[in-house]
Structure 1
Amino acid sequence: MALLTLAEAKAQLNLVGDSDDTELQVYVDAVTPVIEEFIGPVEPRAVVEQHDARGGRRELVLRTTPVLSVTSVQPLLASGVSYAVDGLVLNPDTGEVRRRDCGWFRGLLEVTVQAGRLDVSPTINLAARMLVQHLWRTQRASRGGALAGGGNDYSVSEPIVGLGYAVPNRVLELLQPYRLPPGVA
């Protein structure tokens, strides 16, 4: 599963033929980490995190969300305890992991999860298409400064602090319902 395919990007840009495919594929590949910065993993992948539960914890809160499944919870030290994944309860959106028996996690732990989404919502896909369109058009400005296709639809008068001009507001607005909670990135 891909966030965006080359064919979808070409359709968004109304490109026919394959003369721009190699260059456009770079843009398609580049938008995934940008989108994931705002909403977490889209394309499923294994993620390994370390958690310190030496004082005992009722729950572990994963730093990567959304999570499809917990693959393993293993001790980092030989004297530690492993936790069977079928004995865990996961909240995939918040990344909270609890023991089904209401026990405590203890020790330094390595938690391996499968993070990402099973499918890409049409809204997230549209945001990726629009981001590719924005980047494609802004890099193709004519000598006079006007954007390819005319007008200034892809110009941004003021950047959002820290974002520069790479991600237009219309893309951020589409991603808003899927945004990571504050403090998660």
Structure 2
Amino acid sequence: MSIVTLDDAKKQINIPADATEFDDEVQAYCDGITAVIEDYKREVIEPRTIREDIEHAGRSGRCFRLWSVPVISLTSLTSVTGSTVWDVSPTVLRVNSNTGLVRVLSGPAVRGLAEAVYQAGYQTIPDNYRRGALVALQHNWETRRGAAGGGVRNGVVGPEEVYDPRWSYSIPRKALEWLGAPRPVVG
């Protein structure tokens, strides 16, 4: 899954829609840029299922955190021994989608090791994320192939894009402006 489509990427890097010789490579760039943008933003952007072990040793067992955010929905929560299966309905387990904080409103506390299965990402990817991903994809494509895209390594245009090995990067400043600041780190 990718933040940007193959068609949008080809349009961004000036490859005609009916030209297919670079499709596999461009798709690999689409897939790769998704991981780069998600790492930068510190969040899941492209929706997917996450399996995560939750270990709760606190006294109350009434609160825990899912680490891949934003959370779309909690699918299941089961102790690793299988002895406890929690009801994941919002009246029992309340999930803050932005922070991943889950509160146990009723039923048994969460103690020991449990496996949470949930959907994380954006149901609708923000337009500025798509635009930032396209700019970053174009930057990476052109630093490898040149602006013409035909394998000529003449780089990208603009003083902020001049390659200096001391400052190697995958996301140029103009893409960062589209993406905005990364999500704060929660301890």
Question: TM-score normalized by structure 1?
Answer: 0.82
Q: Shift of the alpha carbon at 1:124?
A: 0.2
Matched residue count: 177
Tell me the C-alpha RMSD between the 2 structures.
2.7
Aligned partner of 1:147 in structure 2 is: 155
- For structure 2, the 5+ residue unaligned runs are none
Alpha-carbon distance between aligned partners in 1 of 2:14 and 2:175, rounded to the nearest angstrom:
19
- For structure 1, the 5+ residue unaligned runs are none
1:182 is matched with which residue: 168, 182, 185?
A: 185
Identity of aligned residues (%): 31
Determine if contact 1:76/1:109 at 8 Å carries over to the other structure. yes
Alpha-carbon distance between aligned partners in 2 of 1:22 and 1:81, rounded to the nearest angstrom:
45
Aligned partner of 2:93 in structure 1 is: 88
User: Secondary structure of the residue that 1:127 maps to in structure 2?
Assistant: helix
Aligned partner of 1:22 in structure 2 is: 24
- Segment drifting more, 13-22 vs 139-148: 139-148
User: Secondary structure of the residue that 1:41 maps to in structure 2?
Assistant: coil
Distance verdict in 2 for CA 1:95–1:29, change over 3 Å: same
Aligned partner of 1:107 in structure 2 is: 112
Aligned partner of 1:165 in structure 2 is: 169
Q: Does 2:47 match 1:44?
A: yes
Alpha-carbon distance between aligned partners in 1 of 2:35 and 2:84, rounded to the nearest angstrom:
35
Alignment of 1:1-12 (within 5 A): 2-12=2-12
